[in-house]
Each structure stands twice: as structure tokens, then as C-alpha cells.
Amino acid sequence: MGALMSCMSGTPPSDSPPQAKRRSSASSRRGGGGAKAAEIDEQALAAAAALVLGQRGGGGAFDRSASVRYAAKRQQQGPPLPRSSSTRPRSLADPELQPQQLLAKELNTKDLETNIIVLVHGGGFGAWCWYKTMSLLEDSGFKVNAIDLTGSGINSSDTNKISSLSEYAEPLTSYLKGLGDAEKVILVGHDFGGACISHAMEMFPSKVAKAVFLCATMLTNGHSALDIFQQQMDTNGMLQKAQELVYSNGKDRPPTAINIDRASVRDLLFNQSPAKDVSLASVSMRPIPFAPVMEKLTLTEGNYGSVRRFFVETTEDNAIPLSLQQSMCVTNPPEKVLRLKGSDHAPFFSRPQALHKTLVEIATLPRAQAS
């Protein structure tokens, strides 16, 4: 990746990626530190070039309007991947649920280390995507909070103006900051939400009892989500074909956001999900801010490393394929790896009951005994 980015930017390749620098706002870049700002912009442009390299077809941006259809483009891309909602019956172990069926066996949560679960959505998603999971967990006796990150869901911030991971994750870190001294939570991060909960674990390790990475970017120190997504592109190329970079500051400036082509979103993210949930996503998803995706995290053993981590695999995932999920677990081993069979990249849609069971299992695992 480092060599590819260097090649695209016209600078000699190196054996190791450049060190991360937190991106400043546009106004601060114009003010002082010209050389450093120029270097940051060059890294961003190089990263964008690496993402664009090999993209096929023009493709429109992800259109949030429910009235627009891209059937012609889908035909050009070839037949879609098999989907459980159209080509084979849904699993009897996790059937499509009606709202009145979202019931769970009552669970006594009083003796747990914490009964507070905080759900952190992935890139482009919002708190809305957790509606089934929230209902099931609340019926089981948990206190559940679903966070809208900056520029996501109903958060009114402009995605194109988000300049750092700390800014993007601010709703999460503000929530944790407001907890009482003795309060702890279980963080569940999906997709790019994995980088966000990692950032929060580093900042507030004493307030996080457990961290669950749900087919998420589980990074190591000095790496970015972009590093993971680049590996995904090398795996099957679907993400690279589906994305479109947004340059709200002009093509001579770094990208500001990433859109997902609507014609590709179902096969990429929801290949096992019910049609009604795909429709919900099609009118609710928003662009993904680019700066946080390319920001390299600083994670220490004393903070991030002190929190119990769990990874939940999704076997039919086209966005972060199973092989890439397993690679992250080998590089950065969690306490336990669990698996959702038959799940796409949106298990809260495609396997809500199985996801609920898995989260309850993690929540009820006893505290590690001091040796």
C-alpha cells in the first residue's frame, strides 16, 4: 500500500507507511505550517489515487432518493450475487421478523459487570440500522444506546467538513465522558465503527468493560481503516468498484467523503438482508467522511490493550470478506472470536436473532480472574 501510494503521488516508495498526522481544518492549513500541511494534503491525495486506481465505470454517487433506480447499470455489471431474499429461503434459525416478533427471553442483567450496551454504526450508516438489535436487547433487560456519529443518521453536521477521527467520533467520546466514575459500558462497533470504538477505548479504558468488533476494522497501533479497506480491494475488488470519492473543495484538494454507488450497495452490503431493510438503508445512508478513514490510530497497551476485546465474524460478507476478518484477528488477537453463519455485512438486518444471542453471550461472560 505504501509503495502504491508513493507511486501515485510521484514520490519514491518506502518500506513502511508514513506516520500519521491529524488533519487540521481548511483554515488552519491555509494559515501556518505550510510544509506540513502540504505533506498532509499530498498523503491524502495519494490515498485517494490509490483508491481510484483500477475503478471500473463512471457510476453515480449513492443517491438517497427512493424514486431513482439504476437497473440499467446493474445489468452492465453482470448478474448479482445470490441473495437469500430472492434466490433461496431464509434460514429457519433466523427468520425474517415482523416488529411484533422482536421478542427475547427475559434475562437477569443485575449481576453483570454492566448492563449498558452502546451500539456504534459503521461508515454511511446511522443509529437507525440497529432497530432490531435495540429491541431485542432491551427486551432482555439491557440499557441500550445507539450513537449517531458526526455527520451520520440525524446528526446535522456536513460530512464533507469532518477533518479528523476525533471529530467524527465526538458523539461517542462525549457520551463516555459523561458517564459516572463507576459506570462502564460494552461498546459494539460495526464496520468503520471499529476504528471509532478503538479511539474511545484509548481515551476512556476504565469506562469500557468489553469491546465487540462486529465485522469491523480492528486496527493495530499506527494503522488506519484505509489500510484495511485497501486489503479488501485486493481481495475481491467489490468495494473499489462501488465507491465514488467526493471532492467538495475541488479536485486539486484531498477528497472529503466517499459515496457508495446505489446500484452496487445491495450486493456489497446487504446480499443476505430482507428487501425492506435494504429499502430502509437506501433512503437513510449518508456519505462516509474521508479524513477519519485515512487517519492512523495511536493505540497503547496500557489503555486500548487493557480492554477485553471480542470479534464477531460474518461468513457471507462482501464488504469485509471473512478471510480479511480472520487476518485482523491473527494480527491483533481478541479474547474470543465468534461467528455468525450466513450473515452479510449487515448482521443487524440479515441475522438479528443470532446477533442478539451472540451479544448476550459476550455480555454475560464473567470477568477475568486476577492471577
More confident residue, 2 or 173: 173
Question: What is the per-residue pLDDT across 173-194, written as a single tens digit (0 to 9) for each?
Answer: 999 999 999 999 999 999 999 9
Task: Flag whether pLDDT at 162 surpasses 90.
Answer: yes
Question: What is the per-residue pLDDT across 46-82, written as a single tens digit (0 to 9) for each?
Answer: 555 554 444 433 333 333 333 333 334 444 444 444 4
Strand, coil or helix: 294: helix
More confident residue, 169 or 239: 169
| Phi, psi at 23, each rounded to 5° | -75, 135
Task: Flag whether pLDDT at 274 surpasses 90.
Answer: yes
Q: What is the pLDDT of residue 106?
A: 57
Tell me the β-bridge partners of 137.
none
Helices 170-177, 193-203: inter-axial angle, 10-degree rounding: 30
Q: Which residues contact 322 (CB under 8 A, 6 or more apart)?
A: 313, 314, 315
Strand, coil or helix: 265: helix
Cell of 256: 472529503
More confident residue, 308 or 68: 308
Give the Cα separation of 297 and 252 in Å (integer): 26
Give the Cα separation of 205 and 230 in Å (integer): 29
Tell me the β-bridge partners of 21.
none
Can you tell me which residue has the cell 485486493? 234
Domains of the chain (ranges; CATH) run 2-19+28-52 (no CATH), 71-81+97-363 (3.40.50.1820)
Cell of 113: 459487570
CB atoms within 10 A of CB 248: 14
Give the Cα separation of 24 and 22 in Å (integer): 6
- Predicted confidence band at 30 (pLDDT cuts at 50, 70, 90)? very low
- Predicted confidence band at 7 (pLDDT cuts at 50, 70, 90)? very low
Q: What is the pLDDT of residue 289?
A: 97
Q: What percent of the chain has pLDDT over 70?
A: 68
- Would you name the residues annotated as active-site residues? 191, 317, 345
Can you tell me which residue has the cell 519514491? 12
Q: What is the pLDDT of residue 294?
A: 94
pTM value is 0.75
Q: What percent of the chain has pLDDT over 90?
A: 62
Tell me the CA end-to-end span of the chain in Å, nearest whole number: 41
Task: Flag whether pLDDT at 286 surpasses 90.
Answer: yes
Average pLDDT over residues 7-26: 38
- Helix (H) or strand (E) holding 241, with range, is helix 238-242
186-to-140, 181, 204 alpha-carbon distances in Å: 15, 15, 12
- Helix (H) or strand (E) holding 9, with range, is helix 2-9
Task: Flag whether pLDDT at 26 surpasses 50.
Answer: no
